[in-house]
């Protein structure tokens, strides 16, 4: 009987460890960690940021919220901030946001199969798209993937 209990405890412990490890990779509830591991030129960062923010505006509504943007100092972070402002979003980066209603936004740009895989993530939606880089910028190489989260996703 004792051997059977031990046998059932091992998978439960492994599941618990896996769940805890998954929590450590998030930068907030439901958000990815902002990170750029791909080599981007300023032109490609601007092209990708402009396209992704345009798609975000389709989901969230342009200029309807204040975006809390935390990320790196490479070319993509500033390009994303500029694109958000062009679309009418208020953007806070290092400012204290206690008491303010803000939407946290995280991003990742990773090399993948000869291009880059880009994700923008908020608590309500996550957008993913593949891009092919060129000397003059970047062009979408896949359809946009949209994952809705939260109460709005159920309606």
- pLDDT at position 107 over 70: yes
- Tell me what pLDDT residue 97 has: 59
Nearest C-alpha neighbor of 118 from the set 61, 67, 68, 54: 54
9 or 117: which leads in pLDDT? 117
pTM of the model: 0.75
Residue 32 pLDDT: 76
Q: Which domains does the chain have, with CATH numbers?
A: 30-154 (3.10.450)
């Amino acid at each position: 009987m004792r051997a059977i209990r031990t046998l059932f405890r091992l998978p439960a412990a492994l599941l618990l460890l896996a769940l805890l490890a998954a929590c450590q990779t998030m930068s907030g509830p439901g958000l990815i960690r902002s990170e750029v591991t791909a080599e981007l030129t300023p032109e490609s960062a601007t092209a990708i940021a402009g396209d992704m923010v345009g798609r975000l505006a389709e989901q969230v509504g342009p200029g309807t919220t204040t975006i809390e943007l935390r990320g790196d100092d490479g070319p993509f972070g500033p390009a994303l901030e500029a694109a958000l402002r062009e679309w009418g979003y208020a953007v806070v980066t290092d400012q204290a946001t206690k008491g303010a209603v803000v939407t946290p936004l995280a991003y990742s740009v990773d090399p993948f199969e000869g291009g880059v895989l880009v994700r923008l993530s908020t608590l309500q939606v996550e957008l993913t798209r593949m891009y092919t880089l060129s000397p003059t910028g970047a062009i979408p190489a896949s359809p946009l993937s949209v994952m809705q989260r939260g109460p709005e996703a159920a309606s």
